[in-house]
Amino acid sequence: MTATTPDDPKTLVSTDWLAAHLKDPDLRIFDATWYLPDAGRDAENEYAAQHIPGARFFDIDDISDGRSELPHMAPPVEKFMSRMRAMGVGDGHQVVVYDGLGLFSAARVWWLFRLMGQKNIAVLDGGLPKWLAEGRPVTSDAPTIRDRHMTVKFEGHRVRDVTDVARAAKLGDHSIIDARAPARFRGEAPEPRPGMRSGHIPNAKNVFYKTLLNANGTMKPATALRTVFQDAGVDLQKPAITTCGSGVTAAVLALALERIGKTDHSLYDGSWSEWGMYADLPIATGA
């Protein structure tokens, strides 16, 4: 496995890179800010007040599978295609996605695009906070949008359901990596969603997503990322399944794995919102 370059339009790009390409005709930008329900912040209102010029707002909760009772599950292909067309994003475009926390929910949209077979998408390293700290331009103006066609090729190997994960936990043939905070992983802190049991999937390893980031919200270099995974006891020789509370920060792990050149990873979309809800599924506590 080899590390990717620092600016990689298929994984992660810097604010310098985005500033240099901001007026490229085939660039499309998404503000994919999403906050936990108890954060007391409104992502769409914040987008309306200020966003990177040209950015569209990507509503993770809306562009999801409305048939599922679980939060923001991956949408059907047809829904994804129609929403992207309406937002003017299609074949031949380079997409850059960011969020208002630095590097949090943007990775979820990166993973979703990859699930839909789209390769030319990158997360903005450090997100909107870094962009603002550097005095770069923002606007409240809505972008001009023209319909564009997108060809989607669903890559089912990038997502796992509860049956897949239960099998992997029992057989030990995958590295299951949980992005939640250590206290939640150990079962010492309550879950933010009502009705959830506390603990983690048996045989999972805990890599809190924030340990993959620098203090300014940017992602650590590839060598440091690899060390974080290894120090947490993750066997990088096995295929990986990432998980978290509801499939958002699990995508930060997926992005980090991609940055170190590990491509055999998938995401448990239901994550603890599903696993923690069913009493017949086993849980573990402690480290």
190-224: per-residue pLDDT in tens? 888 888 899 999 999 999 999 999 999 999 999 99
Q: Residue 185: give the domain boundaries.
A: 157-275
42 neighbors 59 (Cβ within 8 angstroms):
no
Q: Tell me, yes or no, whether 45 lies in a domain.
A: yes
Among candidate residues 225, 233, 231, the one with its CA nearest the CA of residue 257 = 225
pTM for the predicted model, two decimal places: 0.96
Sheet holding 159-160, edge to edge: 159-160, 265-268, 240-243, 175-178, 205-206
* CATH assignment at residue 25: 3.40.250.10
Report d(CA 93, CA 247) in Å as an integer: 26
Amino acid at 17: W
One domain for residues 142 and 166: no
For the chain, the domain total comes to 2
Phi-psi region of 195 (alpha: psi -120 to 50; beta: other; left: phi over 0): left
In the structure, what pLDDT confidence band is assigned to residue 5 with cuts at 50, 70 and 90? low
94 has which bridge partners?
27
- Percent of the chain with pLDDT strictly greater than 90: 93
Tell me if residue 244 is catalytic: yes
At residue 132, the pLDDT reads: 98
Check whether residue 150 and residue 16 sit in a common domain: yes
Indicate whether 83 and 163 sit together in one domain.
no
Q: Are residues 74 and 86 in the same domain?
A: yes
Per-residue pLDDT tens digits for 146-190: 989 999 999 999 999 999 999 999 999 999 999 999 999 999 998
DSSP state for residue 270 in the 8-state scheme:
S
**DSSP SS3 for 265:** strand
Instruction: State the Cα angle at 19 between 18 and 25, rounded to 5°.
Output: 70
Q: Residue 67 above 60 pLDDT?
A: yes
Average pLDDT across the chain, whole number: 95
Catalytic residue among 55, 168, 244, 256: 244
Q: What is the rounded CA–CA span in Å between residue 43 and residue 40? A: 10
Helix and strand element counts for the chain (H, E): 10, 10
Q: Is 186 exposed, middle or buried (0-12, 13-18, 19+ CB in 10 A)?
A: middle
41 lies in the same domain as 26 = yes
Q: Taking each helix axis from N to C terminus, what angle separates 250-259 and 222-231, rounded to the nearest 10 degrees?
A: 120
Question: DSSP assignment, residue 136?
Answer: -
